């Protein structure tokens, strides 16, 4: 029986290994993590991450050929294939701070593999890492090899949160990069055989190590770039009276462009896009390519601009002040169908409004109060360095309340900001909400999901990203 061990039971490692276990009954999969609470949760009925369909997959395999454990050493020692799926935060200090990836967790995982291995291993990079990390890992392993043969592969994961199980069941492609030596090719074949249990052969792409590593950064950068492109257009649409949805539709019909990932929004979030682009920028700078670095930097600048623009629109619409005014925040997760708040645009929008002394009442169906308070107390990039966590300042505590009911959040608020596209926000009783708000009552739809015409008929003043402006908003221009 082939044995797989995955180091890191997070958003990537957990779902990916659960699906491998489901699709390959002949393979034993152990997912290990240094976090006891995470592993306890994976072994309970309340999984540590919310992901549609994940519960059923885990229930079917857990205890049969899928195990979650904190005994990292034992499972590494026993495995034939080791996936490394630990976190790679952005460095907060030292060389490359704010841009480069912090490979501390990676290095410690590699050293642990070198320490405990007694047989040949295939080591698979699963988490996104800077190009040439595989080389560094290879060096750590071979310099401590004790005669063991290590083959390093890069097998980046392309799943998106909220659709992880669907993406894993039917991936557009599986990418495997390895050395061009006979041993390297043998290792690629071994990993290919795992995926071949359910992925058609033509969807499994094999490349050299560096191409695989760079493809992951490139794919995320291209996706983020599309969003920044459409968001940049949204600002121009508001200025000219064009409608960004109509523009996106027309542009996306060109088969060379395609219709996906062209939804204007308050900005992109998530643990990958910004981090991977910053990483790409850093790699370009280190390789003496400032023009290329600046090109990609702009994608992040436009994203920051979009979030600022939204805050400014809210403040300017309300007579240039939100001080002491209650504002409801609908949605805090970085997208629907996940409880993940890493790099969510809601953090910057809320901080912007808090900076203007607004009182926020926040509702999200999947995010806990504790998480929201932690997010609003953190500085940039601290989210994956939990040790630096600051308690929320008492003034901020007074300004923020987290509630479990959207109607309660909206009651007595001057405006609603929709920051996550949860389906339930489309079908709320907006008449009831309107009746319990001071007038004029505003809706700022950062995801373009509500029926703005209907809301206007009720009496709301509605702002939708990139759509023709209500006369009220035209008279109160926002400056970004
Ligand atoms: C373009 C648009 O495609 C067309 O829809 C519009 O109506 C007019 O502008 P055109 O300029 O005739 O058409 O040719 P196109 O095939 O788009 O190529 C434009 C340039 O991009 C060429 O120099 C081409 O060599 C280059 N190109 C195209 C690349 O360098 N790489 C590519 O992948 C595609
Ligand atoms: C992304 C990539 O899609 C995935 O392939 C990679 O493995 C990890 O990073 P994820 O961050 O989970 O996945 O979600 P994604 O669906 O890509 O959304 C990222 C952000 O972009 C979200 O905040 C989303 O709301 C936003 N977005 C997406 C838009 O604003 N407009 C769009 O059209 C699409
Ligand atoms: P991702 O979104 O890439 O899956 P996460 O932060 O969700 O990232 O998960 C990474 C996991 O890796 C965390 O649960 C963390 O505790 C774990 N981890 C980090 N370093 C090690 C290590 N050396 N050994 C085992 N687990 C580790």
SS3 string of 104-130? HHHHHHHHHHHHHCCCCEEEEECCCCC
Distance CA 173, CA 156 (A): 10
Whether the CB of 269 sits within 6 Å of ligand 2: yes
Alpha helices in 181-327, H assignment, sequence order = 182-195, 209-240, 244-252, 273-286, 290-317
Any idea what DSSP says for residue 379?
A: P
Whether the CB of 245 sits within 6 Å of ligand 2: no
Weakest mean pLDDT among 102-116, 242-256, 465-479? 465-479
CB neighbourhood size of 103 (10 A): 19
For residue 480, pLDDT beyond 70 = no
Distance CA 297, CA 299 (A): 5
| Nearest listed ligand to the Cα of residue 256 | 1
Could you tell me the pLDDT band of residue 380, with boundaries at 50, 70 and 90?
low
For residue 385, pLDDT beyond 80 = no
Which residues are documented as binding site for NAD(+)? Answer: 8-13, 33, 38, 86-90, 127-128, 161, 272-275, 342
Answer for the pair 434, 460: CB distance below 8 angstroms, yes or no. Answer: yes
Answer for the pair 433, 407: CB distance below 8 angstroms, yes or no. Answer: yes
State the pLDDT at residue 391. 61
Residues 6+ apart with CB under 8 A from 175: 154, 155, 156, 158, 205, 207, 212, 215, 216
Query: What sign results for the dihedral spanned by CA atoms 226, 227, 232, 233?
Result: positive
CA of 41 to the centre of ligand 3 (A): 14
Name the residue with the closest Cα to ligand 2, atom 2: 160
Mean pLDDT, to the nearest integer, of 401-408?
97
Burial class (CB in 10 A: 0-12, 13-18, 19+), 194: buried
* Closest to 310 (Cα-Cα) out of 260, 339, 284, 347: 347
Is residue 272 annotated as a catalytic residue, yes or no? yes
- Which of 8, 85, 113 has most ligand 3 atoms within 8 Å of its beta carbon, as the pocket-test mutant? 8
| Nearest listed ligand to the Cα of residue 341 | 2
State the pLDDT at residue 92. 86
Distance of CA 30 to the CA centre of its chain: 24
Please determine, for the modelled complex, whether the ipTM score is greater than 0.90. Answer: yes
Mean pLDDT, to the nearest integer, of 251-258?
98
């Amino acid at each position: 029986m082939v044995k797989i061990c995955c180091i890191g039971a997070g958003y990537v490692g957990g779902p990916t290994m659960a699906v491998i276990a489901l699709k390959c009954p002949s393979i034993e999969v152990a997912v290990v993590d240094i976090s006891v609470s995470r592993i306890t949760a994976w072994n309970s009925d309340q999984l540590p991450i919310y992901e549609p369909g994940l519960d059923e997959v885990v229930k079917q395999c857990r205890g049969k050929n899928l195990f979650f454990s904190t005994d990292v050493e034992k499972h590494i020692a026993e495995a034939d294939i080791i996936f490394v799926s630990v976190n790679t935060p952005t460095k907060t200090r030292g060389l490359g701070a704010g841009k480069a990836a912090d490979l501390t967790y990676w290095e410690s995982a590699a050293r642990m593999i070198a320490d405990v291995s007694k047989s040949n291993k295939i080591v698979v990079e699963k988490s996104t890492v800077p190009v040439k990390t595989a080389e560094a890992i290879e060096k750590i392993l071979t310099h401590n090899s004790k005669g063991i043969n290590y083959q390093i592969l890069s097998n980046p994961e392309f799943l998106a949160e909220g659709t992880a199980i669907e993406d894993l069941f039917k991936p557009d492609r599986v990418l495997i990069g390895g050395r061009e030596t006979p041993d390297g090719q043998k290792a690629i074949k071994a990993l290919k055989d795992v995926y071949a249990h359910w992925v058609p052969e033509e969807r499994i792409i094999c490349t050299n190590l560096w191409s695989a590593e760079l493809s992951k950064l490139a794919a995320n950068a291209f996706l983020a770039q599309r969003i920044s492109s459409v968001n940049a257009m949204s600002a121009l649409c508001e200025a000219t009276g064009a409608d960004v949805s109509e523009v996106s539709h027309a542009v996306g019909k060109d088969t060379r462009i395609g219709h996906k990932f062209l939804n204007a929004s308050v900005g992109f979030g998530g643990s990958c896009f910004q981090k991977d682009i910053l990483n790409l920028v850093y790699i370009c700078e280190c390789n003496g390519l400032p023009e290329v670095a600046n090109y990609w930097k702009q994608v992040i600048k436009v994203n920051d601009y979009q979030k600022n623009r939204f805050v400014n629109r809210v403040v300017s619409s309300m007579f240039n002040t939100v001080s002491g005014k209650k504002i409801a925040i609908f949605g805090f997760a970085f997208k629907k169908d996940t409880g993940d708040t890493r790099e969510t645009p809601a953090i910057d929008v809320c901080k912007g409004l808090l900076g203007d002394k607004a009182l926020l009442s926040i509702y999200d169906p999947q995010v806990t109060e504790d998480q929201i308070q932690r997010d609003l107390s953190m500085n940039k990039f601290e989210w994956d360095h939990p040790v630096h966590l600051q308690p929320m300042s008492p003034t901020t505590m007074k300004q923020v309340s987290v509630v479990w009911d959207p109607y309660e959040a909206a009651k007595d608020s001057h405006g609603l900001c929709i920051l996550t596209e949860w389906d339930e926000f489309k079908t709320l009783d907006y008449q009831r909400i309107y009746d319990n708000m001071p007038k004029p009552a505003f809706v700022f739809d950062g995801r373009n999901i509500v029926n703005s015409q209907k809301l206007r008929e009720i009496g709301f003043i509605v702002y939708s990203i990139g759509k023709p402006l209500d006369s009220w908003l035209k008279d109160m221009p926002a400056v970004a």
